[in-house]
Amino acid sequence: MHARPYNFYAGPAVLPQEVLEQAQSEMNNYGATGLSLMEISHRSPIYDAIHNETQLLFKELLQLPDEYHVLFLPGGASLQFSMIPMNFLTPGKVANYILSGLWAEKAIEEACKVGDVYVSFSGKANNFTKMPSLQDIQVHTQMDAYLHITSNETVNGTQLHHFPVIQDVPLIADMSSDILSRPFDISKFAVIYAGAQKNLGPAGVTIVILREEALPQHTTSLPAMLDYRTYIKHNSLYNTPPVYPIYMVNLVLKWIKHSGGLNIMEKRNEEKARLIYDAIDQSGGFYKGLAHPASRSLMNITFKIWNDELEKRFIQEASTQQLVGLEGHRSVGHIRASVYNALPYKACQALAEFMKEFQKRYS
C-alpha cells in the first residue's frame, strides 16, 4: 500500500492497515467462492460463519457472561437514542440521564419524545469540560426506568474513567467512541451500544450488547425493527443485516485479539494520549486542553491555541505534513486529535513533534 497520512478524524475514523489489506485481498473473491462477500446471501453458510464468529469475538474480548446478547443493528448510535427509551421507558417510570456532552444531549432530546426524562447531572454550566464523579451519579430506585451514561464524549474530549455500580436500576451506556479501548466490567451494565465507525469498523452497523432479562415487559407492541426482541429472536437476521460492515468489524476484532486484547489496547492508548497531553501541558500555555485534567479522554484530545488565526494555520500546516482530520467538531471549534485503537503510536509521536516545532516557530 501507498504511504498513508496519519488519520486523526473523529469518525468515520482510522482502521488498522492490516485489516484494510486483508479486506482488499478478499474483495472480489471471498473464501474461494469467486464472489465478493457483498454479493452472497446473508443466509449462506459463508456469511453465517462471519456473523457468529463476530459475536463470539465480542464475547471473548469483553468476557461476556452467557445472559448477554450481541446484536447488529442499522441506524447508527443515533437510532439507539430512540430505541433505548422505546424499549426501556415504561409508563409510570422516568428515564435518568447524565448530561455529559453533546452526544448525551442528543440522546436526551430523543428520549423526551418517548416519555418522561430527568437529568440527574449536568455538565452544561461547565461547558461539558468535566465528567461527573461517582458521587454525582445518583439513581432513584422506585422511579428510574434506567440510568443512561455516555462513556466518552467524542466532541468535548471527556471520558468517564470509572463506572458506577447501580443496584436495581438498569445501567445503559453509549460507548460509541471508546468501546474496546480498555477492559471494563460488563456485568454492571444492562445495555451498551456503539456505532462502529469510531473504534470498531466502518459506518453502517451498530453493536448493541444487552442482557435480555433487563428488558421490561411491554403491553403495546413496538414495530419489529425497533424492538430489541426481534433482533434477539432472529439473531440479528430478521432482515438483511449490514453484512460488509459486520465483516469489517470481524477483522478489526481479530486484529485486537491478535494484538493482545483489551489490556494491550488500554496500555497503548494511554501511551499515545500521554504524548499529546504532555505536549499541551509542557507548552507553557501556548496550547490549552479543553477538558478538565481528571476527565481527559484517551480517545479524543481537544485543545486550543490562544490565537484563532494560529489555530487555523496549525490545522492547515499539519495537513501538509500528512497529519489530517484535526479540526474540532463544528459545535466546539478549536483542535481535536482522535487517537482510536487503530491509530499507531508513531502517528501520535509525529503530532507531538509537530506541536513542539509549530510552537517554536510561532511563539
Ligand X SMILES: *Cc1c(COP(=O)(O)O)cnc(C)c1O
Residues lying near ligand X in the complex (CB under 6 A) are found at 11, 76-78, 103, 150, 154, 174, 176-177, 195, 198
Nearer to ligand X, 74 or 362 (CB): 74
Cα 335 to Cα 287: distance, rounded to the nearest angstrom: 10
Cα 149 to Cα 158: distance, rounded to the nearest angstrom: 13
Cis ω on the peptide bond leading into residue 202 (within 30° of 0)? no
Neighbouring C-beta atoms of residue 226, cutoff 10 Å: 14
| Residue 177 assigned to a binding site | no
Question: Which residues contact residue 286 at a Cβ distance below 8 angstroms, ignoring those fewer than 6 apart?
Answer: 305, 306, 359, 363
Nearer to ligand X, 176 or 302 (CB): 176
Instruction: Tell me which residue has cell 475514523.
Output: 13
Task: Work out whether strand 144-150 and strand 171-174 pair parallel, antiparallel, or are unpaired.
Answer: parallel
| Residue 78 assigned to a binding site | yes
User: DSSP 3-state assignment of 293?
Assistant: helix
Nearer to ligand X, 150 or 269 (CB): 150
Q: How far is the CB of 357 from ligand X (least distance, A)?
A: 30
- Whether residue 255 lies in the annotated active site: no
Nearer to ligand X, 93 or 182 (CB): 182
Question: Which residues contact residue 322 at a Cβ distance below 8 angstroms, ignoring those fewer than 6 apart?
Answer: 3, 5, 6, 350
Nearer to ligand X, 144 or 174 (CB): 174
Q: How far is the CB of 149 from ligand X (least distance, A)?
A: 11
Q: How far is the CB of 353 from ligand X (least distance, A)?
A: 28
Q: How far is the CB of 106 from ligand X (least distance, A)?
A: 7
Name the nearest CA neighbour of 338 among 16, 18, 12: 12
Q: How far is the CB of 13 from ligand X (least distance, A)?
A: 10
- Whether residue 174 lies in the annotated active site: yes
| 93, 144, 174, 178: the active-site residue | 174
User: DSSP 3-state assignment of 258?
Assistant: helix
| Residue 158 assigned to a binding site | no
One-letter identity of residue 302? T
One-letter identity of residue 27? M
Nearer to ligand X, 305 or 342 (CB): 342
DSSP assigned state of 296: B
Task: Work out whether strand 323-324 and strand 6-7 pair parallel, antiparallel, or are unpaired.
Answer: parallel
| 93, 103, 130, 144: the active-site residue | 103
Question: Which residues contact residue 233 at a Cβ distance below 8 angstroms, ignoring those fewer than 6 apart?
Answer: none
| Residue 197 assigned to a binding site | yes
| Residue 230 assigned to a binding site | no
| Torsion angle of C-alpha atoms 271, 272, 275, 276, degrees rounded to 10 | -140
CB of 358 closer than 8 Å to CB of 317: yes
| Residue 54 assigned to a binding site | no
| Residue 90 assigned to a binding site | no
Q: Nearest residue by C-beta to ligand X?
A: 76
| 198, 227, 272, 304: the active-site residue | 198
Q: How far is the CB of 169 from ligand X (least distance, A)?
A: 21
| Torsion angle of C-alpha atoms 332, 16, 76, 273, degrees rounded to 10 | -30
Set of cell numbers at residue 150: 455516555
List binding-site positions: 43, 77-78, 103, 154, 174, 197, 239-240
Residue set of the binding site for L-glutamate:
43
Binding residues for pyridoxal 5'-phosphate are: 77-78, 103, 154, 174, 197, 239-240
The residues carrying an active-site annotation are 103, 174, 198
